Structure 1
Amino acid sequence: MSRIFVIGNEKGGAGKTTCAMHLISALLDQGYKVASIDTDLRQLSLTNYIKNRELYNQKNPDKLVPQPCHFYLTTKGENDEDANLLLFEQKLCDARNLAEYIVIDTPGYHSLLSKLAHSYADTIITPINDSFMDLDVMAKINPDDLSIISPSIYSQMVWEQKMQRAARDQSSIEWIVMRNRLSQIDAVNKRNVGYVLEKLAKRISFKIAPGFSERVVFRELFLYGLTLLDLTTANLGKPLALSHVAARQELRDFLTCLGI
């Protein structure tokens, strides 16, 4: 059976597609067969990333980078919920027949497709920026003493999809929250977010993963469809810098947390 990773967060701008593409690239780099599914009907960021990767390969046949088997849904018939759900399940079935790992990118808003994708996850990965604004989709926080008032909309949705998965095939879903775009500078806000996340992890059962620091290399290669793991083989004329080495270590630490 393929292992399914779902990258999800109902707040946009948290780095879901960046996380998804680096996970895909890392799995391909280790020689695994990988499939990817984009459920963001409008933005299709992961699909565009992979199309850029295809274009790079066409232009550089002597410096090819590995590609996942990619599937995506479009806005055609987007108001037909039953048709979209059926199409997603068909594409997921096709992906399972082709790959050892499946990575599903979801939109930064609530949708039926996103809920369905979460319910099929073996592991949900939630990138979250290091701010209480981003944390608000996961929990309501008391500003006076940083106590947790209640789980918020996204946490409730994840719990519901865990129940759906258990009802469907008696399987459980692992949930990992990844602190993303961390500042290199220690700050009160950074410590406070970490403190609240640790308390929340115990309350609603998720694991905190080491995330990616605020580094240009995690974003600058989008137009080429590449990631930092491709820099040693890609024809970009871009030498490896110390910051790239540090970024690769962050990615390795993340993969270790995932058990890869």
Structure 2
Amino acid sequence: MGLFDRFKRRKARDAAPPPAPVQPWPPPPVAPMPAYQNFEIPPEPDQPAWMKYPVSAPKGHIIVFANEKGGVGKSTSAFHTCIALCNAGERVAALDVDLRQLTLHRALWARQESEREYGVKLPGPEQIMLAQQNENELAEKLRMARIHNSFIVIDVGGHDSPIARKAIFMADTIVTPVNDSFIDLDMLGHIDPRTGDFKTLGNFARLVEHLKDPGIALRSTPLDWVVMQNRSRSLATNNERKVRDALDKIAPAAGFRIVPGLSERVTYRELFPLGLTLFDLDTLPDLGKAQPNAREEIWAMLRALNLPSAALKRAIAPPTDDGSDFA
């Protein structure tokens, strides 16, 4: 063998990778993964990149108030839910993703002004602010909020947007307030005006149906979609009965349940700009006196949401037979 051949063999030997180390047998045991471990599965080509598995976390129940129809009392219902949960002793965070209006946050800021004006301390939620309407920032804010709070209440603007879809996608409970109007039902489903039969789902119902598809989001608990009838009157009109019948026909196809909301009361409209609720009138008696049935209406709304907290269920239990009120 010539010198050149020996040089080539040595060069090839030096360039070869070192032999792989011998693996022990049997292999060492692998620690089990937590049930809530994030498994990042590539989304479908037509889905946003934030649609990953899973969306549920071990703590912090997310309640999203959403409806693409405006003027249905979303922010009012979200605000009263926040304050009622705080009065029940829960740790609550509030987030308004409609950066153009920020109705929920404005009510909470007004609540802080009322505290300073009247020199009192009122229960209230932690406020979470977004610097911009960014889905990734929303996901990170919610991830942190779920660690420190029992409930996170989100108010979504009355229009379709990527960040609204993200909030709905991450929700554990979706609350869709509606008024007693067939115009408000159009986003949920279409009813034949002549026969009264159900025809098709509306745009918002199709959106929720898509975002709660098990093939898109693996959840530790199923998504609960609630349609809340707001601004109802003590004596139902013929139109209100027709709207309720229409909701009963849409509900099975859309997958929501129907619960009572807040009725039409002047007190709600007067207190909301001050960031106050009926619960605060015990602390601020000069502003008026809350009727027991009005306060019970808010507790009944909260009970109807059937939120997963044994302590909350005890705190908001119905009043006793002796008619005593509770706060």
Query: Do both share a fold (TM > 0.5)?
Result: yes
In structure 1, distance between residues paired with 2:203 and 2:244: 20
**2:118 aligned with 1:60:** yes
Q: Distance in 1 between matches of 2:64 and 2:263?
A: 21
Give 1:250's aligned amino acid.
E
Higher strand fraction (1 or 2): 1
Deviation of residue 15 (structure 1)?
0.2
Query: Which of residues 62, 67, 70 is equivalent to 1:12?
Result: 70
Partner SS, residue 232 of structure 2: coil
- Cα distance, 1:127–1:136 mapped onto 2, change above 3 Å: same
User: Could you say which residue in structure 1 is the equivalent of 2:81?
Assistant: 23
With the length of structure 1 as denominator, give the TM-score of the two structures.
Answer: 0.90
Contact map agreement 2:188 2:254 (CA 8 A) in 1: no
1:73 counterpart residue number = 130
Deviates more, 1:49-58 or 1:244-253: 244-253
Structure 1 residues 137-194: Cα deviation after superposition (integer angstroms, max 9, x where no partner): 1111211022111000110111111127852446420011100001233321111011
SS in 1 for 2:212: helix
Q: Is the 8 A contact 1:10 1:110 kept in 2?
A: yes
What does 1:58-207 correspond to in 2, within 5 Å? 58-61=116-119, 63-74=120-131, 76=132, 78=133, 84-163=134-213, 167-169=217-219, 171-207=221-257
Larger RCO of the pair (alpha carbons < 8 Å, separation 6+): 1
Aligned-residue Cα RMSD (Å) equals 1.7
Q: TM-score, normalised by structure 2?
A: 0.72
Match of 1:238 in 2: 287
Partner of 1:35: 93
Instruction: Return the letter of the residue paired with 2:229.
Output: R
Which stretch has the larger CA shift, 153-162 or 220-229? 220-229
Aligned 1:211-230 pairs, distance under 5 A:
211-230=261-280
Report the Cα distance in structure 2 between the residues aligned to 1:185 and 1:67, rounded to whole angstroms: 33
Q: Residue 299 of structure 2 is aligned with which of 252, 255, 259? A: 252
Question: 2: CA distance between counterparts of 1:3 and 1:13?
Answer: 26
Partner of 1:81: none
Counterparts of 2:305 and 2:216 in 1: how far apart (Å)?
21
Give the length in aligned residue pairs. Answer: 249
Deviations 1:40-88 (A, max 9, x none): 1200000101111111122233x210121111335x5x5xxxxx11111
1:222 Cα shift?
2.0
The alpha carbon displacement at 1:22 in A equals 0.5
Unaligned runs of 5+ in 1: 79-83
Find 1:50's aligned residue among 108, 111, 118.
108
Structure 2: runs of 5+ lacking an equivalent: 1-58, 307-312, 314-327
Contact 2:91 2:151 in 1 (8 A): yes
Aligned-pair identity (%): 38
C-alpha distance in structure 1 between counterparts of 2:62 and 2:101, whole Å? 22
- Equivalents in 2 of 1:57, 1:98: separation in Å? 24
Residue type at the aligned position of 1:108: G
SS of 2:233's partner is coil
Indicate the structure with greater helix content: 1
SS in structure 2 of the partner of residue 150 of structure 1 = strand
